Amino acid sequence: MIRSCPACGRKNRVPSSHLADADRCGACKATLPPIAEPLEVDPPQFRDIVARARVPVLVDFWAEWCGPCRMAAPQVKRVAHDMAGRALVLKVDTERYPELAAAYDVRGIPNFIVFRDGAVAQQQAGLADHRRMASWLA
């Protein structure tokens, strides 16, 4: 995955297994903090991150037209911020990638799945607040 340095703006390649780690910019040596926001991913990125992550991964299956998904978005963003360095949060657009949603039997959205060591640890359809999502990742 490519990340921009907050200090100098240079692009840095960070392996998916290190997205939850603090790293250093290859150009200016400033700290690249752990990912602290939800990452919108396509199927190859999804598979790579879920398979290689050394921390739990929360995946939000959503769609633009879905009102409850829009209501859940700030909660998802908050849990990504609160759990930075201890978990990763991904977002999968079910309209763009219906095959990915189908692979995990996502029939209603929002739908949240927690992966640990590449395997499904928990799945829930419907709204949840950031505290509940954080408890799934603890």
Q: What is the enclosing helix (H) or strand (E) of 14? A: none
Helix H or strand E segment including 21? none
- pLDDT digit string (tens) for 48-63? 999 999 999 999 999 9
Nearest-angstrom CA–CA distance, 126 and 47: 23
Domain identity same for 24 and 49? no
Whether residue 61 is found in the same domain as residue 120: yes
Count of the separate structural domains present in the chain: 2
Q: Does 124 share its domain with 65?
A: yes
* 25 tagged catalytic: no
66 and 6 fall within a common domain = no
Number of H helices, E strands in the chain: 4, 9
Residue 80 pLDDT = 98
Instruction: Supply the DSSP symbol for 87.
Output: B
Q: What is the pTM of this model?
A: 0.94
Backbone angles phi, psi at 120, to 5 degrees: -65, 125
Q: Find the domain containing 15 and state its range.
A: 1-34
The reply to whether 29 and 51 lie within a common domain is: no
- Residue 78 sits in a domain whose CATH number is 3.40.30.10
93 and 43 part of one domain: yes
The pLDDT score that the predictor gives to residue 70 is 97
SS3 56: coil
Kind and range of the H or E run holding 23 = strand 23-24
The answer to whether residue 69 is catalytic is yes
